[in-house]
A and B are shown apart, each in its own frame.
Chain A
Amino acid sequence: MDELQMEIPCIRTFNESMIEIDASHMETRELNNLLREIMLCGYEKVVLRNVCGQRYIGTRLYSPQRRVMTIEIYGTPGNDLGAFLFGHRILVHGNAQDGVGNTMESGEIVINGRAGDVTGMSMRGGRIFVKGDVSYRAALHMKEHGLKKPVIVVGGTSQDFLGEYMAGGIVILLGLYRAHTARFIGSGMHGGAIYIRGEVGEEQVDSSVLISRPDESDMEILGDCISDFIERFPDLSLDMDYVLEGDWTKLSPRSSRPYGKLYA
């Protein structure tokens, strides 16, 4: 393993594979440069303490060797957490801000709290698990290609414009805490699927969206994703059957080209 060639007082090394950083007073760029060095040195886990608004944590962590590490965050990470994330695992003990997993490529982000606007925007792979709610425009223009199929699982509910211009991937709302009040769900949606547990009125959903009951293959997908969700948030003590037996709705696009005629 390479030695980390930096004398930085905010770093504590626990062993060969784990390192801890005190991020208070650290700028966004400084922190992300450091994370990159740490990855290149081959550490498997990095714990960030006192994070407060630093952006893009987890970005620029591509290596040709496809190195992967776990980034554990204490505090409140700034916008675009895990932007372009390349296979790493991010765990947040608390809330996240806007743009979690922006254009994320692969890996996993687990939020032990709520997430802000545009969670999973343009995401094209990997998975995001949010224990609480997500704000406006989750899964905005999320997309899939071939075997790459991004997944967002939300314990609570979402605000308006969930799945706006969604082009692929899967979004699951477990509706564990309160009723779904979002409006304009699936505006301009032309790919992928949204699964919602709990009542959703037709008037909450955009007219370009087909409302149906999940079939057996859908339930299989839900089973897999929900079991992973339960595993990540053991403190919720969720029962798999209880969650699956709920009243599920599937939303999928009526057309893969909703605006085909608009510009013809």
Chain B
Amino acid sequence: MSVRRQKLYSKEICACSIFGAMSRTGERFTGERVIRAMANMHHRGNGLGGGFAAYGIYPEFREYYAFHLMFTGDARAQREAKRAAEEFLFRNFDVVHDEEIPHSDDVYVRDPPLLWRYFLSPSKHGEDIHLPDDEYVVRKVVHVNSAIDNAYIFSSGKNMGCFKGVGYPEEIGRYFMLDRLYRGYLWTAHGRFPTNSQAWWGGAHPFGLLDTTVVHNGEISSYGTNRWYLEMLGYKCTLHTDTEVVAYAVDLLMRRQDLPMEVVAKILAPPTWETIDRMDVRERELLTTLRRIYGPLLMNGPFAVIIAQSGRMIGLTDRIRLRPLTVATRGEMFYISSEEASVRLISPSLDSVWSPRGGEPVICELDGRLKHEIAAPA
């Protein structure tokens, strides 16, 4: 029996949207303009994922790690997941405050999980006592996400937070009331068009570990190799989405191995061998060495990402730029977007607009003093 299509598919099929806005002077602003910019790229997504990362939003708790957790499944599974996760958290951390993440019931979203946040500091025991705080937190996050059913820590940095779910980004933004409840100096956002993985709340962007978050447009076809390499080094990929590996790779290279972003970009998106051959001796040796050592972290396939960390926002595309990314500045504001129109919507006049070169990161940072005040208070 033949199946007839009753209705023509009328969606203008497209791709993900990514957006980032940062005030270089550290001035904090609500998510209202970011939500509007994302809504302007509504047609790039398909309502199966939207999310935001916001930095500088928890100044009153800035010395504590802010964990955002989602508990999935039916009501009973959620309760059980929360109980198990809390038992683990209270055993390994001093929790100074916890509450449900506020959301608006006026916004309809499909199957929202139970969302809870915890402000905490490490309480180390036994062998863990010698671990640096960040490493301790990463290990505990990996444990919860891989060993406790239906519980996922999707945000674990200080003075920042991820908010994400299944829906269009503007719906998710209003669901979490990002336009009213939070003020940050750096926001990134994502509208999702899932291509080869299912849509679920944990699979929405941003992906984060500690204060590093990633939003991504494209497809990482080297996911298998990248994942295998990262899992050898203690990471566990639990969110069924390729973008996850970018967050862990950045954590490995920048936090654990202390490499500068310029070098990290050359590992994730290295120049072609042809280009390397034309470089002078020193550069050629560096690039050749990086490709030898970090071959399994090469991100193959088309991608544009915005990576954010405390006090810093980075835009990067694959080396031959197979996904769009536009950068713009206006005064102290710095924008990265899939489309210029979204930036123009919230900032009609711009000082400069350009398309970054493939494989070359565009980095915006707070000045050193501000970074210290906002991100790592004494």
- Look across to chain B and name the residue whose beta carbon is closest to the beta carbon of A79: B339
Q: Do A203 and B341 form a contact, CB below 8 Å, given A136-B321, A159-B355?
A: no
Q: Does B146 touch A at the CB level, under 8 Å?
A: no
- A116 and B357: CB pair below 8 A? no
- Look across to chain B and name the residue whose beta carbon is closest to the beta carbon of A164: B320
Q: Do A159 and B357 form a contact, CB below 8 Å, given A53-B342, A78-B339, A203-B278?
A: yes
Alpha-carbon distance between A161 and B357 when the two chains are bound, in angstroms: 11
Shortest beta-carbon distance from A27 to chain B in Å: 8
Alpha-carbon distance between A159 and B326 when the two chains are bound, in angstroms: 13
Alpha-carbon distance between A160 and B43 when the two chains are bound, in angstroms: 28
Q: Does A144 touch B at the CB level, under 8 Å?
A: no
Alpha-carbon distance between A203 and B353 when the two chains are bound, in angstroms: 28
- Look across to chain B and name the residue whose beta carbon is closest to the beta carbon of A114: B353
A29 to chain B: which residues have CB within 8 Å? 12
Alpha-carbon distance between A28 and B40 when the two chains are bound, in angstroms: 11
- A53 and B40: CB pair below 8 A? yes
Main secondary structure of the interface of B (DSSP, over half): loop
Q: Which residue of A76, A117, A159, A183 is within 8 Å of B344 (Cβ)?
A: A76
A117 to chain B: which residues have CB within 8 Å? 321, 324, 355
Q: Does A55 touch B at the CB level, under 8 Å?
A: yes
Interface size (B, Cβ < 8 Å)?
20
- B341 and A183: CB pair below 8 A? no
- B324 and A116: CB pair below 8 A? yes
Q: Do A76 and B357 form a contact, CB below 8 Å, given A52-B40, A117-B324, A160-B321?
A: no
B57 to chain A: which residues have CB within 8 Å? none
- A75 and B320: CB pair below 8 A? no
- A52 and B321: CB pair below 8 A? no
- B326 and A116: CB pair below 8 A? yes
Q: Does A135 touch B at the CB level, under 8 Å?
A: yes
- Look across to chain B and name the residue whose beta carbon is closest to the beta carbon of A75: B344
Q: Does A122 touch B at the CB level, under 8 Å?
A: no
Q: Does B134 touch A at the CB level, under 8 Å?
A: no
Shortest beta-carbon distance from A49 to chain B in Å: 12
Shortest beta-carbon distance from A59 to chain B in Å: 11
Question: Interface code B36-61, partner A: CB below 8 Å = 1, 0 otherwise?
Answer: 00001101000000000000000000
Shortest beta-carbon distance from A244 to chain B in Å: 29
- B357 and A160: CB pair below 8 A? yes
A114 to chain B: which residues have CB within 8 Å? 353
A77 to chain B: which residues have CB within 8 Å? 341
Please classify how large the interface on chain A is, using the bins under 10, 10 to 19, 20 to 34, 35 or more. 20 to 34
Alpha-carbon distance between A160 and B339 when the two chains are bound, in angstroms: 19
- Look across to chain B and name the residue whose beta carbon is closest to the beta carbon of A24: B345
Question: Interface code B193-236, partner A: CB below 8 Å = 1, 0 otherwise?
Answer: 00000000000000000000000000000000000000000000
Q: Does B275 touch A at the CB level, under 8 Å?
A: yes
Query: Considering the complex, which residues of chain B in the window 294-334 have a beta carbon less than 8 Å from any beta carbon of chain A?
Result: 320-321, 324, 326
Shortest beta-carbon distance from B115 to chain A in Å: 31
B94 to chain A: which residues have CB within 8 Å? none
A55 to chain B: which residues have CB within 8 Å? 12, 43
Q: Does A95 touch B at the CB level, under 8 Å?
A: yes
- Look across to chain A and name the residue whose beta carbon is closest to the beta carbon of B343: A76
Query: Considering the complex, which residues of chain A in the window 80-111 have a beta carbon less than 8 Å from any beta carbon of chain B?
Result: 95, 97-98
Q: Does B358 touch A at the CB level, under 8 Å?
A: yes
Q: Do A53 and B326 form a contact, CB below 8 Å, given A97-B341, A159-B355, A161-B320?
A: no
B12 to chain A: which residues have CB within 8 Å? 28-29, 55
- Look across to chain A and name the residue whose beta carbon is closest to the beta carbon of B353: A95
Q: Does B340 touch A at the CB level, under 8 Å?
A: yes
Question: Interface code B336-378, partner A: CB below 8 Å = 1, 0 otherwise?
Answer: 0001111011000000010101100000000000000000000
Alpha-carbon distance between A183 and B357 when the two chains are bound, in angstroms: 10
Q: Do A52 and B355 form a contact, CB below 8 Å, given A28-B12, A116-B324, A160-B320?
A: no
- Look across to chain A and name the residue whose beta carbon is closest to the beta carbon of B341: A53
Q: Do A52 and B341 form a contact, CB below 8 Å, given A114-B353, A136-B358, A159-B355?
A: yes
Alpha-carbon distance between A135 and B342 when the two chains are bound, in angstroms: 18
B324 to chain A: which residues have CB within 8 Å? 97-98, 116-117
Q: Which residue of A116, A161, A183, A184 is within 8 Å of B340 (Cβ)?
A: A116
Question: Interface code A25-61, partner B: CB below 8 Å = 1, 0 otherwise?
Answer: 0001100000000000000000000001101000000
A76-B340, A95-B353, A136-B355 are known; give 19 further A-B pairs, CB within 8 A: A52-B344, A53-B40, A53-B41, A53-B341, A53-B345, A55-B43, A75-B341, A76-B344, A78-B339, A78-B341, A79-B339, A97-B340, A97-B341, A98-B324, A116-B340, A116-B355, A135-B355, A160-B321, A161-B320
| 21 sampled A-B residue pairs with Cβ under 8 A | A28-B12, A29-B12, A53-B339, A53-B342, A53-B345, A76-B340, A77-B341, A78-B341, A79-B339, A95-B340, A97-B326, A114-B353, A116-B355, A117-B324, A117-B355, A136-B358, A159-B355, A159-B357, A160-B321, A161-B320, A183-B275
